[in-house]
Structure formats: C-alpha cells, structure tokens
Structure 1
Amino acid sequence: MKKPTAHRLRRRYVNLEHPLVLLRFEDGHEIRVTKGQGKAFDAYAGETIKIIAIYDPTSAERQVLDSRRAEAFDPA
C-alpha cells in the first residue's frame, strides 16, 4: 500500500495595500512582503497560511488580515 504524498504547490502573493505583510505558515516559518512587491513560495496542498499586516515594525502589534489555504493563492 502506498503512503499518501503531499503535493507541493508554487504560489505567489502580491502586497498592494499594507506597508508590510507577513505570511505565516503552519510549520512556523514566515515570509515578509513589503508594499508594492510580490513573493513566490512553495506550500503544500491543504496547508493554511495566515496573512498578517505589520504597520509599525518596532511594535509587537500585528493585525491578522486573512487565513487562506494554499490553493486559494495565485499560481506563480
């Protein structure tokens, strides 16, 4: 019997609204995307990614904008 395999997806996110956005993945790693830029990343099918806005980098205050599955992001 075969083990189930997770399918890796190549996705991208473009930040057009907030000064700094943080993409936080289930395994704990984070990708920072500054305003006006986009980043491509690998994620597994079914993985949940939180989109968090940071308005003041010196403050610990963060605002969760959205939580999406990897499939909901645009393909890279």
Structure 2
Amino acid sequence: MFLLYIFVKPFYIFESGSFQPGDIVFVACFFVFLYYIGEGNLLNSKFDYILVAFVMWVFIVNFVYFSLYRQT
C-alpha cells in the first residue's frame, strides 16, 4: 500500500496545496498500520507521548493555516 502512495503522490488532481489522492492513500496507510499494530501498546515510552503531542500540534497548526489561506 505504501508503494501505491509513492506512485500516486506526484499526481495533482485538485488545486496545488489541497488534499490530493496521494495524501488519501497515505492516511489509509496510517490506519492500516494502526490496525496491524493491534492489541499491543503503541505508546511504550515518555518519548512516544511527546512525539504524539508534537505531531498533533503540527496537524493543528497546518489545519489553521490551511483554513485561513485557502481562499487566497
């Protein structure tokens, strides 16, 4: 599935900077990864929690900028 992402990433169907088909495949890869992790504890150390908090912060900041500058 990740190879499909590598193949689809260069194709832009919508406006540049918006969500593209490659991004959708990448998000699907993430959920497949979480599914295969399964019952094991994904967050094993304090560093993992810090990393998750950082990634969530990056997502929030990017979403705010996307929302503000989408019309320009």
TM-score (norm 1): 0.19
TM-score (norm 2): 0.19
Task: Please identify which structure carries the higher helix content.
Answer: 2
Report 1 or 2 for greater relative contact order, CA contacts < 8 Å, sequence distance ≥ 6.
Answer: 1
Decide which structure has the larger Cα Rg and report it: 2
Task: Please identify which structure carries the higher strand content.
Answer: 1
